[in-house]
Copies of this chain bind each other. A is one copy, B any other.
């Protein structure tokens, strides 16, 4: 903790506390000469203004919080870079909090954002989150909140998302065009709107193509640690040898599909075609290269941060509440869906 207060600094300089304080704030009331003297002494004595006291006065933290499930997913790493690109321009600090897909942790970190600690919050909810009271509380404290990627659909707040339904539709259509007769959608959590929308788009494509889907379960939930996902995928593919195509709703599912195929001598794409929602940089150098629905992760982060700063600067949170920015994803065909 800093022991050196503005009082000590004033005493050392033989100036009043008010003068030193104004000089440090670059006030026009103070002469350039005095300012220089104060700053020189402040630097010499290693004076650091107390951020808490200073925040109490200014009611501005110059800090935003980003709450997201994990950073091991490439999507979130890129989104953070997009957020940071905007924050740096605005001279703001970015605090990153991870929920690790836990509702309890998410609530605890949201509670850490209250009362002047941050000026705004960007959030991508955990897969366990099924109610939004903790986020509503933030809003009621006048802290602006913007959702990116994983939104809470029924809550009124600005959202920056991608076209999940259409992407789900396209992914199924691709598998059907490549000759798949029993494609499945591997979901991570249907309570997440991104996942349920992707699944709905997937289902719609099957239905539109006239595929008989009443005799099999074409949306399969798959969660847990990497090892648990591996076991679930392995089990699924062993029990249902008719499955000839998979859409992985998130990146880490795709990795485990590849690991299972490696361990069980399943040939991708001959036996099984794979499409993944993923921004994985290694997609082109995987064996085989992976067909992806690539989300504009950096742009989603950037756009969400821009909306948040508009709210912070204009202090009109309510008029932004129905803002929804949709940035489309891109289907990139590679060898994992080759005929």
Contact = CB atoms under 8 A, between A and B. Distances in A.
Nearest to A102: B88
Interface stretch (A134-142, A153-161, A193-201): A134-142
Contact of A78 (B72, B80, B112, B281): B72
A306 interface: no
A320 interface: no
A262 to B, nearest CB: 6
Contact of A285 (B111, B117, B287): B287
Interface string A266-300: 00000000000000111011111100000000000
A93 B109 CA distance: 7
Contact of A98 (B94, B258, B287): B94
A107 interface: no
A77 interface: yes
A65 to B, nearest CB: 9
A46 interface: yes
B1 A49 contact: no
Contacts of A71: 71, 76-77, 80, 96
Interface in A199-229: 226
Contacts of A285: 255, 258-259, 262, 286-287
A142 B1 contact: yes
A5 B9 CA distance: 32
A91 to B, nearest CB: 9
A131 interface: no
A95 B97 contact: yes
A247 B125 CA distance: 39
A100 to B, nearest CB: 7
B51 A53 contact: no
A51 B115 contact: yes
A32 interface: no
A111 B94 CA distance: 13
A98 B140 CA distance: 30
Contacts of A284: 259, 262
A117 B52 contact: yes
A332 interface: no
Contact of A51 (B70, B77, B117): B117
A117 B56 CA distance: 13
Contacts of A70: 77
Q: Which 7 A-B pairs have the closest CB atoms?
A: A287-B287, A96-B96, A52-B52, A72-B77, A71-B71, A258-B285, A2-B115
13 contacts: A1-B59, A1-B141, A2-B115, A48-B111, A49-B115, A51-B117, A52-B55, A71-B96, A72-B78, A72-B81, A80-B98, A285-B287, A287-B289
